[in-house]
Each structure stands twice: as C-alpha cells, then as structure tokens.
C-alpha cells in the first residue's frame, strides 16, 4: 500500500513538474493610458488583454512627483483599479515624466537630499492610491528634450534615482506584502545608452520599455518610417527597433527585461513629389495621421480617400501614400506588429508595450499582440 502511495505521489510530482516545464513564458503586455487629457473612459480598456497599465503622466515639480490634475487623476486611479475585478493580476503603475513633463528631472535628482525626497514622493502616490509601482519616462538625461534641464551629472544621477525609488518601493512592499514594480521608458536609440549607465540601472528595474517609435528624422528632411523593426534600404536610416534592442543588450540590459515598444498611432508628412511613393522623398511639411483605428477604418479600407497601401519588407514596416495630396503616413499594422512579436519571441524579450490605448479603440493591434504573445 505504501509503495502504491509512493508511486502515486511520484507520478503526481512528475506531472506537475513537466507541466511547469511545458508552461510557456508569460509575456508582459504594457499599455500606456493618457490621463493628462483628463478623465479616461476606462470602459474602453480591456483588462484581460493587458498585464500592466502605465498611467501617463505624473509631473515633476518642486523636486517632487506631482499630480497636476489631482481631481481627474484620483478618479482615474479609482476607475483603473476597478479593472482588477476583471483581471486580478493586472498591475497599475504611475508613469512620471514624458516628453512635456521631463523639464525638472535633472534638478529633482541632483543631490542626495532632493533625490531621496523625489523618490519618497513618487512612492507615496503609489501608497496613497494603492497602485503597483512607478514608471519613469525621463526625456532625456544628459541630453536635449522638450526644453528640459540637463547636465553631465544626470548620467550617474539617473542610476541613483532608481536606486532611491527601489529602496522606497522595497519598504512599501514590506508594509503591504505585495510585489511592486519599477520600470523605465527609454529612448529607443543608442544615444540614450551613451548618456546613462543602463547596466547599473537595469539592476533596479523590472522592465525597460523601449520607445522604438518616433524615428522621424527632421534633420534629414525626408519621409521615413517612424516605428520600423529593421533598417530600410530606401534611405540611409539612423534608428530602428532591432538596432535599439542590440544597443541596450550591449549596454548591459538583459534581453529578458527589455520590452518592445509599438506605436498605436501614425506620423505623417507632405513630400515634394510622388517619387518612390513618398518613402525616402524630401518633405516640405508635417501633416496629421491619427490613431490606428482611424487609419485602418477611414484610410486603408476607404479607397475614396486616395491612399494606397505599401509594405517595406526590408524594414518590416507599412506605409500609406496619397499621390494627389502628396501625404505620406508611417504607422504600425497587424503585419508589422506580428513581425515585432516574432522578434520578441526570438530574442527572449519580456514582452511588448504600446503608446497609447485610445489611439486604437477597436483594439486591432492589441488583439494581434495578444494573439502573438499569449
């Protein structure tokens, strides 16, 4: 009888062990939602299709993390937390900074005193509103951004900032007993790694969210892909997502912490002539593109708008061109998203993140991410 019980126990153990081995790695799917506009319609957010929501943005003011729109921010936090009833594993983080709110990072983390106070203020927001962590989007340390203060000391202070925030989060973890996350949104280009210590920074982070989009190059004055996976052969490219991944790995960030950025919106310019269907052609102005739901439903599938769909197979990037208006639009679609997800799997990356949820309310692209990564 004892032998039978032992055999049964061993069989159960082996079954569980083999099941664990066979269980595929769960990728993260991180979606940014824009609270800076005011109240968020959280009914549009499908909690089951996400692992993390990053709430954008919290400002940096007087050396502290600062809720600029506290009335709507607090309502948004409350409504986002309700999504956990649908997906109990969903994590809600505050994202501090962004393009327009990074002006004061350098001052806020300049000294031990200011840095520790900033870290405490950031984690206090997570504590007060029962959130799951902090995301930092500093654009950019020791480099030019949107009128931001920057100085050489940023390189080391960037690291020390994350050390201080992680310390505060560890203390809050002890108080609450729940895991808290620290992540960073980083420029998807080599220059970012040259002005930071990403090997040291990565030790404090759960995930590094690569902003592998906005690769428009005003200095070149030509129409280019803004979120391409690989280099195009149609023009001399400076940046692409695959290069960014390699650059960050070379800088000391483990692939398992890297998150591929995906753009749920397009970027557009007007070109000077119809050569090469716009791609790589000189531009003479910017134009509006819109989010993917609009692009797909109103431009791609509506021939009366005059746009024609093209694929740059070298870059794994689609684009639209209207020969009458000379409007060029670079964007992601289901095809390019699949290419990026395949790349995530191939490189052993942590998953995908996107900016921003409201740009694709019909979830065309989010559905593709879920299909490929879940």
Catalytic residues, by residue number, are 139
Strand 317-322 and strand 327-330: the pairing is: antiparallel
- In the chain, how many H helices and how many E strands? 11, 14
Residue 282: DSSP 8-state: B
Angle at which helix 364-373 crosses helix 334-347, to 10 degrees, equals 30
Tell me if 139 sits within 8 A of 99, measured CB to CB: yes
Residue 295: DSSP 8-state: I
Residue 290: DSSP 8-state: -
For Cα atoms 103, 238, 185, give the angle at the middle one, nearest 5 degrees.
Answer: 35
> Maximum Cα–Cα distance for the chain, whole Å?
86
Residue 300: DSSP 8-state: I
Region label for 193, one of left (φ > 0), alpha (ψ between -120 and 50) or beta (otherwise): alpha
């Amino acid at each position: 009888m004892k032998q039978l019980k032992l055999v049964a126990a061993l069989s159960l153990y082996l079954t569980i062990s083999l099941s664990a081995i066979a269980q595929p790695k769960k990728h993260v799917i991180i979606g940014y939602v824009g609270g800076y506009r005011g109240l968020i319609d959280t009914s549009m957010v499908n909690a089951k299709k996400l692992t993390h929501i990053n709430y954008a943005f919290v400002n940096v003011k007087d050396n502290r993390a600062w809720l600029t729109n506290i009335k709507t921010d607090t309502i948004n936090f409350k409504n986002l937390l309700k999504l956990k009833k649908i997906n109990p594993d969903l994590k809600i983080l505050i994202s501090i900074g962004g393009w327009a709110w990074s002006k004061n990072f350098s001052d806020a983390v300049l000294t031990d005193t200011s840095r520790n106070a900033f870290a405490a203020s950031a984690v206090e927001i997570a504590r007060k509103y029962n959130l799951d962590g902090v995301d930092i989007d500093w654009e950019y340390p020791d480099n030019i951004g949107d009128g931001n203060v920057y100085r050489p000391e940023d390189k080391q202070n960037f690291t020390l900032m994350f050390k201080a925030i992680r310390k505060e989060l560890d203390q809050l973890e002890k108080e609450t007993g729940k895991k808290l996350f620290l992540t960073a949104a980083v420029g998807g280009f080599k220059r970012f790694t040259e002005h930071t210590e990403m090997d040291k920074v990565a030790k404090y982070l759960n995930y590094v969210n690569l902003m592998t989009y906005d690769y428009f190059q005003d200095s070149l004055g030509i129409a280019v892909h803004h979120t391409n996976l690989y280099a195009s052969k149609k023009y001399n490219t400076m940046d692409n997502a695959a290069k960014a991944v390699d650059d960050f790995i070379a800088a000391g960030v483990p692939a398992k912490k890297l998150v591929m950025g995906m753009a749920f919106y397009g970027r557009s310019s007007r070109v000077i002539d119809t050569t090469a269907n716009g791609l790589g052609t000189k531009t003479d102005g910017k134009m509006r593109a819109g989010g993917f739901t609009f692009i797909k439903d109103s431009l791609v599938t509506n021939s009366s708008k005059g746009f024609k769909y093209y694929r740059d197979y070298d870059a794994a990037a689609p684009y639209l061109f209207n020969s009458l208006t000379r409007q060029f639009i670079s964007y992601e679609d289901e095809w390019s998203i699949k290419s990026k997800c395949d790349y995530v799997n191939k490189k052993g990356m942590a998953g995908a993140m996107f900016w921003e949820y409201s740009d694709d309310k019909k979830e065309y692209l989010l559905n593709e991410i879920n299909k490929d990564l879940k």
